[in-house]
Chain A
Amino acid sequence: MSVPTDLRYTRDHEWVRLEGELASVGITQYAADQLGDIVFVELPDAGRELEATKPFGVVESVKAVSDLYAPVTGAVAAVNDALATSPELVNSDPYGEGWMIQVRLAADADLGELLDAEAYDDLVAAG
């Protein structure tokens, strides 16, 4: 498996696209494949304060419910409303149309725990 090299990753299989003080967040192709057909995504409202490593939402496949963990600390700036009616976008385009939220990074947000693509690839390869 190869993952986009311009993104950062968590050990819980979220990805982060850092653009200045904004961070877009989704789950990786590996996570989407493991979950199978995604039928429901529950996301926070804009403005909610998120804390890195804490749950911020839920993704459900036909079979299972999985928590989503915030990769960074900050406030939710935007939510992908398309997932309310088309949660399958997370399977079909996890790094694009299947994005979940955009976070405005807190001033003291610590990005040091995020993995680069190579480290995330290794994590997935190790199972």
Chain B
Amino acid sequence: MAGKYLDITGVGIEFDTGGAKFRALQNVNLVLEQGEFVSLIGHSGCGKSTVLNIVAGLLHATEGGVALEGREVTEPGPDRAVVFQNHSLMPWLTVYENVALAVDQVFRRRKSRAERRAWIEHNLALVNMEHAMHKLPAEISGGMKQRVGIARCLAMQPKVLLMDEPFGALDALTRAQLQDSLMQIQAELGNTVIMITHDVDEAVLLSDRIVMMSNGPAATIGEILSVGLARPRDRLELAEDPEFVHLRQQVLAFLYAKHAPSGQARSATPRRLTVPQGNTRPMRTQHTLPDPRATAPCG
């Protein structure tokens, strides 16, 4: 189904911050085709996560709406699985049980017990985690946890995979590894993906399109950049590819020349408050972008 697979139309949201209204998003429009990989990039607090949460159904837009395959999104569901930044595995369940919790819920009626078991193992194998199936999250590394988080989402066979800075909390080597895994899996399964990132290289490497957001308050989509690099992509070859370097520069130009971090360009804007959001949490510190408000909630 080419064309409007996922349709975000005129989305805006306002938060009530103890009397004062805070407008986080204004008139966000985006259409995704099936199988497309789209990155959202922008400065901290620009409402990227808010967009993702609205698509997930965890937050409700004040105006506008989201439609998936022509049906309006009203509540969260497994067809829009979310990979959260800090893995969010249940610490009391083993790796296998964490994935099983999702699989048993989604495929309770459609698959037999044995089929579900095979499906869980298949998905763990997809992210190379079958060796640690019976370990608790506390017993595996951060990168492994994030792999399991991704396996859990893939196992739900979502129509759209939503990733909220999935590799933000990982070290550079692990991040590169997981990026490669993700590219491979996406090539194999053809998932439709929206990924939030702070990492310009990551955005260019993985995406078909890069959606660059302007700074909040009342953030919206500034520019959309098509990435025409041929797949499969290889990070070593791309590093010297002129097209890659050019795309990278365009993203940087958007972020620093046109929409400099609000601390410098927007000193006159009203003081930002902590916005109550569905999954507000302090930012991890691994930015690729220098951020004057590193402790502000990730928007």
Whether chains A and B associate is no
